[in-house]
């Protein structure tokens, strides 16, 4: 296999929203697999702290401040990753905002804010990463959607459901368009995961939600990260345009 640098090919992954919850669990699993990882977070401090948790040396894991709603910020973060690690093989779009707003209270600004981060942020990161991914021997894009994007969700607001449905549609479109570049594009749709997001819900809401899952519990960030590891692997080279539901049976179909 052609190596694009003088290391035997060590994969480099960029994880947006990588400083906590699902994003951090993915960064951690990738690091365990020996990948080099750039953790991107809207807070530079969080990105740095998360990177140091995984790798105090700063050689294998770096933290970069990046606002996915700002094109220049995305471009700079990808350039910094390239400078540090010499290439990019995997991009995970985990940056996202949860929305719990009722239909009646939804404002145009709130709607736009959710869409800007969850949909446009995902698209911008992919668009700006393509020139790097094209040079990789096994390029991968992994988007994080949600069960809400599959079937509307139960407790979240509609901007969130719509944004996560859009991420799935974006995955399909990108998988078709980027196939000739040999870039695979896949998506994970988690059900409710034990996280800061789920902990923000009341105990009663959590109890009612758990009853809807055939497996009777929420998932863990590590279970979602395991799905990302599959999509990132060489063995997943023939898998593209796929949505993997990691949701305890909440949505099937």
**Closest Cα to residue 47, out of 68, 33, 72, 32?**
68
Question: In the annotation, is 160 catalytic?
Answer: yes
**Closest Cα to residue 81, out of 38, 50, 126?**
38
Q: Find the catalytic residue in 132, 160, 172, 230.
A: 160
Q: How far apart are alpha carbons 85 and 195 in whole angstroms?
A: 30
Cβ neighbours of 235 (radius 10 Å): 8
Sort 85 into a burial class: Cβ within 10 Å, 0-12 / 13-18 / 19+. buried
Contact 159, 99 (CB under 8 A): yes
**Closest Cα to residue 121, out of 109, 110, 132, 129?**
129
Known catalytic residues?
160
């Amino acid at each position: 296999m052609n190596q694009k640098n003088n290391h035997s090919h060590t994969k480099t992954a960029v994880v947006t929203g990588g400083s906590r919850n699902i994003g951090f669990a993915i960064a951690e699993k990738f690091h365990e697999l020996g990948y080099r990882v750039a953790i991107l977070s809207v807070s530079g401090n969080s990105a740095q702290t998360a990177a140091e948790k995984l790798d105090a040396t700063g050689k294998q894991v770096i933290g970069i401040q990046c606002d996915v709603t700002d094109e220049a910020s995305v471009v700079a973060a990808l350039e910094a990753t390239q400078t540090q690690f010499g290439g990019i093989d995997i991009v995970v779009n985990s940056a996202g905002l949860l929305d719990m707003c009722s239909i009646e209270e939804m404002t145009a600004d709130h709607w736009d804010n959710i869409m800007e981060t969850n949909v446009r942020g995902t698209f911008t990161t992919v668009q700006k990463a393509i020139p790097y991914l094209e040079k990789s021997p096994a390029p991968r894009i992994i988007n994080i959607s949600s069960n809400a994007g599959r079937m509307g969700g139960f407790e979240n607001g509609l901007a969130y459901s719509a944004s996560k449905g859009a991420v799935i549609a974006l995955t399909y479109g990108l998988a078709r368009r980027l196939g000739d570049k040999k870039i695979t594009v896949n998506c994970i749709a988690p059900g409710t995961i034990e996280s800061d997001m789920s902990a923000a819900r009341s105990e009663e809401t959590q109890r009612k939600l758990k009853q809807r899952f055939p497996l009777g519990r929420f998932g863990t960030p590590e279970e979602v990260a395991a799905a990302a590891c599959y999509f990132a692997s060489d063995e997943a080279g023939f898998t593209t345009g796929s949505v993997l539901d990691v949701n305890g049976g909440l949505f099937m179909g």
